Amino acid sequence: MAKTNPEAKQKQSEEDEQRKADVTYRRKPNAIADYQVQEQTVFVRSENDIELRVTVHTPEIIQLRYVLEGDRPTDFSYAIAPDFNPDNAEFSTRETDQYLEITTDSLICKISQKDMKVSFLDSSGTELCKDAKPFHRKDSIMKGITEVKITKEAPEGTHYFGLGDKITDDGMLRGKSFQNWNTDAYAYELDEHRDPLYRSIPFFTAINKDGNAYGIFMDNTFRSHFDFDSDDNNTCTFSAEGGCMNYYFIYGPDPTTVTERYTTLTGTPELPPLWGLGYHQCRWSYYPEERVRTLAKTFREKEIPCDALYLDIDYMDDYRVFTWNNDRFPDPKKLISDLKEDGFETIVMIDPGIKVDGDYEIYQQGLKNDYFCKRPDGELMIGPVWPPKTVFPDYTHPEVRQWWGDLYKDLLTEKGVSGVWNDMNEPAVFEVKAKTFPDNIRHHYEGEGVSHKKAHNIYGMQMARASYKGIKKHNQGKRPFLLTRANFSGGQRYAALWTGDNIANWEHLRHALEQCVRLSISGYSFVGTDIGGFVEQPSAELFTRWLQLGIFHPLFRNHTMGYDAEGADVVKEDQAKQKKIQSDDNQEPWTFGQKYTHINRSVIELRYRLLHYLYTAFHKYVEHGTPILRPTTFHNQVDAKSVNSQNTFMFGDHILVAPVIKKGARGRKTYLPSGHWYDYRTNELLEGGKTHQVDAPISEIPFFIKAGTVLPLREVMQYTQERDPELLELNVYYGTQVSESHLYEDQGEGFTHNEGDYRLTKFQFESNPQEKTLRLSADREGAFTPKYDTVKINLIGLPFEPEGVEADGRSVSIQKSSADQSVYAFEVDPDFKTIRVY
Ligand code: MIG
């Protein structure tokens, strides 16, 4: 008999203990046992009792959910738009030896008989996307579900886009992995906390080598992970640390269509007030009142257009939200109305954290009504944010949202503020490493009762929702303007967003470019960055280049962290540590000397010139989910060369932007996709499908207009509604293809556009090079009549000498433009229908 070795025995019992500490199960489906069709859903069950529910929403949108016995799956989702109206598309099912096939008009979904692996093909049988492994789930006795995971093949040549505002070195998602967990990522940097960032958009688009595009949206709010072949083994995985594997497969085949379909599924915002698209000036912090007045006066004196000024946390009384510091702002109502008189809208910050303070009414109300987040044992979740002790409303409770929304009443109706920005709603908590709540905090979640693990990523979204609804209710018929920092898929319905606390360096200028395009194709077009950088101070050159990029971002806001702000010390010590602080930290368009003031003014003026075009693109986004910003490769996804055009992007349907993002650069290489393009600055015609070296002196940003475009230009004003424009200019860029352009106009405020008080003009351009003629027609819809009485048309790139122009049968005089001898100009009536140039 062998003697028992005491060491081995000891080891054995340790192992036993460890094993007993928790027991983990790994589950994946085996062969299909049976399936059933009920309405739009096919319930497919494996022999080991894993159910795959395949729901056909439209011929191009198919939802997949994996349910195990004992799960409590619900149809509830914060992300899906309440007005998403699936069309109950027809589909058929068929079984073969190898597959169960579900076929719609556009897609075939094949589920393998052997292990329930799923693949999608288009109706011609071309493979789009395929599981590399069966669905996989990990759970344990002590922790519950810890992973639900899908592994797809990532064939060579497939590229990935979207996923919100992730940043990369080379602009490409492929080869990298990311996670979604809303995080206060102050001064996010390359290797440090570069990921996760402030928001979670678990949706991406893939474009295969053959140009076919599809999207995947994983509707799961737990911490999630996306891996685009980072291990170089040709797989792409997505997983969540809890809940149900619930994802939507969204077909294109065009990538812009994928975004449009995703955006229809998760919703679009309403049109913002036109002033929301003007230039905005922000700083942490403008106070006291006198400083705000001086700021406003300086804009007008220097004739630099500006529509909105922001008040950061220091306007509050001791960081109590919905209060005012009376020393700094003795009469907010008067200040705000004076600013308004001068064309400035005032936007104030509101944070989620509520100061623990027995004398503070909002704290008392929330306490009395049990509105604050609690720990599992029923104690309040208290943590330091701006006030040292803060409690947090549980916005996942409908009654809390209602209460919160109504708190805005006084700000809007009494004080006269025009907009709000919601900050710190990741939710951010100071001092602790997690930077947020512990996982075990409880949330109502519309009655479901969940832990913070599930509610974390939608906390900011539900705050934005509550704010948006309240603002809309109390805004006296005006359109809400709300900015949020944290958010989740679908949150685009409620608020615009800024990308958070970036740094004033060239690297972050490139991030700004990448993040806004990526957000836009993730269904979130109303985005912008802190122009100039939030942390540290930009050089004059960097500031100007950033401003130039900013004119193409729907949210056009300059913001910086002033080191005179109270509380900046906390951030500095807690998070910034190493940052060098200069004393002169102003960041207004005139901060950088006369030469740059002049340049910056003309950059901002250019934005105001382009407002019609931006507003029209915004309208298309609202109506059809069309992203305002897109990667260049979305313009023609079969053009393999365009995939590497990471430093250019499309702004709307007709403009390609080639920003300068390198220090000292006075020109850049620019790949123009197929077709012909005009340099906006020189009217020079450039051939697509080629890389061009273009000039970019510090005063200019290169951008290019697609041939055949009718580009509307607005009069420059000091603020958007300074006066009714007297004139509409239309730049008509000659092309040889029949092309369509749009112009959307309305009051720029209020909701009458929903009752037909708008005008949508469809321009059609056609030319006949042999006959040397061109035709421009305008088709109009809606009852709105713009106030201008003249339309000035500039014909650009005409390859022939025109003999005459006829507008609706009457001849019109045409002249060479004084500014550019190659341009012909003439004036017509705003209601013109057909123009013929011969
Ligand atoms: O931790 O309100 O991103 O825009 O100026 C800093 C002060 C808190 C972070 C926001 C920033 C804002 C700042 N806030």
SS3 of residue 575 by DSSP: helix
pLDDT for 192 equals 62
How far is C-alpha 53 from the chain's CA centre? 30
pTM: 0.96
Length of the chain measured in residues: 838
Percent helix, percent strand, percent coil in the chain, to nearest 5: 20, 30, 45
821 sits in the region (left: phi over 0; alpha: psi -120 to 50; else beta) called alpha
Nearest atom (ligand 1) to Cα of 313: 2
Tell how far the Cα of 340 is from the centroid of ligand 1, in angstroms. Answer: 25
How many A from CA of 407 to the centre of ligand 1? 21
Concatenating the DSSP letter of every residue in 576-623 gives ITT----S----STTTT-HHHHHHHHHHHHHHHHTHHHHHHHHHHHHH
Nearest CA to ligand 1 atom 6: 571
pLDDT < 70: residue spans in the chain: 1-4, 190-193, 563-584
The pLDDT, as a whole number, for residue 584 is: 55
Ligand 1 contact via 571 beta carbon (within 6 Å)? yes
426 has catalytic annotation: yes
**Phi then psi dihedrals of residue 558, to 5 deg:** -90, 130
Answer whether 284 contacts ligand 1 (Cβ < 6 A). Answer: yes
Q: For residue 168, report the phi and psi dihedrals to the nearest 5 degrees.
A: -140, 170
pLDDT for position 572: 52
Report CA(477)–ligand 1 centroid distance (Å).
30
For residue 340, give the H/E element and its range. helix 332-341
Q: CB 706: neighbour CB atoms within 10 A?
A: 25
Per-residue pLDDT, 3 = 59
Angle at 679 (CA atoms; ends 677, 684), nearest 5 degrees: 85
d(CA 358, CA 340): 36
Q: Give the per-residue pLDDT at 575.
A: 45
Kindly name the residue from 195, 314, 423, 605 that is annotated as catalytic.
423
Q: Is the CB of 713 under 6 A from ligand 1?
A: no
pLDDT for the residue 578: 38
Residue 537: closest CA among 510, 503, 588: 503
Strand order, beta sheet including 345-350: 527-528, 496-498, 482-484, 419-422, 345-350, 308-311, 279-281, 556-558
Q: Clarify whether 254 is annotated catalytic.
A: no
What are the structure tokens assigned to 433, written together? 């490493």
* Catalytic (active site) residue 318: no
